[in-house]
């Protein structure tokens, strides 16, 4: 099974690109949302650490936002509590899809939380800053301070690009995105079927 991981800035369209691969997708943001709604043990751990921000289960989005904005350390604390559960869910996802040729990982802190394996294919999704801003403004509960807090716990863009095998320049047009995805899949599947790939894997050679 080949693991493809998408990384990039907040709002760059990683989830949009992930769906275009037409393989099973592990969307960490969706899983985190489920955890807040269904996992009372996680809620109790968060409430114990931040009793002044959370009232009762399930976690309320407004309370979560207030906690994150109040102190830059709170987001890291919450992430550290959630992360082990995400790892478990990822393991279950991989087990469920073990017979699939490819799975796609849409995990915002994929590199930061060291979820990457040596043989993972990492794709950086790049988008124009103005386009990203337009997309983010349309989101429910858009808050520039909140986004900045999330950016603080992420690796710099330059490091993400350096660690990536491919770069997709996302202009949010279906035709362009599909072309990138097809080209990348063709190259990955060709190289994975080649003995040379296993003997001498070179990231730099594969980046378009």
For the stretch 62-105, pLDDT in tens is 999 999 999 889 999 999 999 999 999 999 999 999 999 999 99
- Same domain? For 108 and 200 the reply is yes
Residues paired with 26 in a beta bridge = 105
Residue 87 token pair: 């790892």
- Same domain? For 107 and 204 the reply is yes
* Final residue in a domain of this structure, among 39, 64, 96: 96
* Final residue in a domain of this structure, among 96, 123, 152: 96
- Same domain? For 155 and 206 the reply is yes
- Same domain? For 136 and 184 the reply is yes
Q: What is the DSSP letter of 1?
A: -
**Domain CATH for 189:** 3.40.50.300
- Same domain? For 61 and 134 the reply is no
- Same domain? For 130 and 149 the reply is yes
- Same domain? For 190 and 114 the reply is yes
- Same domain? For 134 and 167 the reply is yes
pLDDT at 204: 40
pLDDT at 194: 66
* Final residue in a domain of this structure, among 44, 79, 96: 96
pLDDT at 137: 86
Which pLDDT band holds residue 195 (cuts at 50, 70, 90)? Answer: very low
Convert the pLDDT of each residue in 118-170 to its tens digit.
999 999 999 998 998 888 888 877 788 888 898 889 999 999 999 999 999 99
Cα angle for residues 93, 13, 193 (degrees, 5° grid): 55
- Same domain? For 137 and 71 the reply is no
Mean pLDDT of the chain: 90
- Same domain? For 72 and 125 the reply is no
pLDDT at 208: 47
The range of the structural domain enclosing residue 39 comes to 30-96
Residue 51 token pair: 């009793």
Q: Structurally, how many domains does the chain consist of?
A: 2
Residue with tokens 């983010």, as numbered in its chain: 136
Query: pTM value?
Result: 0.88
Q: What is the DSSP letter of 184?
A: H
- Same domain? For 199 and 126 the reply is yes
CA gap 138, 50 in Å, rounded: 30
pLDDT at 135: 86
Q: Does the pLDDT value for residue 199 go beyond 60?
A: no
pLDDT at 32: 96
């Amino acid at each position: 099974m080949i693991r493809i991981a998408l990384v990039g800035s907040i709002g760059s369209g990683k989830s949009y690109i992930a769906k275009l691969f037409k393989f099973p997708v592990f969307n960490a943001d969706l899983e985190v949302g489920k955890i807040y709604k269904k996992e009372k043990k996680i809620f109790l751990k968060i409430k114990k650490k931040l009793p002044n921000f959370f009232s009762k289960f399930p976690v309320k989005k407004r309370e979560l936002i207030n906690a994150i904005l109040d102190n830059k350390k709170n987001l890291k604390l919450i992430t550290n509590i959630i992360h082990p559960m995400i790892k478990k869910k990822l393991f279950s996802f991989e087990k469920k899809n073990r017979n699939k040729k490819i799975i796609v990982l849409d995990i915002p802190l994929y590199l930061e939380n060291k979820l990457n394996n040596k043989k993972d294919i990492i794709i950086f999704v790049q988008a124009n800053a103005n386009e990203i801003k337009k997309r983010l403004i349309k989101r429910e509960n858009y808050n520039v301070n909140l986004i900045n807090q999330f950016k603080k716990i992420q690796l710099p863009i330059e490091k993400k690009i350096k660690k990536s095998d491919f770069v997709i320049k996302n202009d949010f047009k279906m035709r362009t995105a599909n072309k990138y995805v097809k080209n990348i899949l063709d190259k990955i599947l060709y190289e994975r079927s080649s003995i040379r790939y296993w003997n001498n894997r070179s990231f730099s050679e594969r980046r378009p």
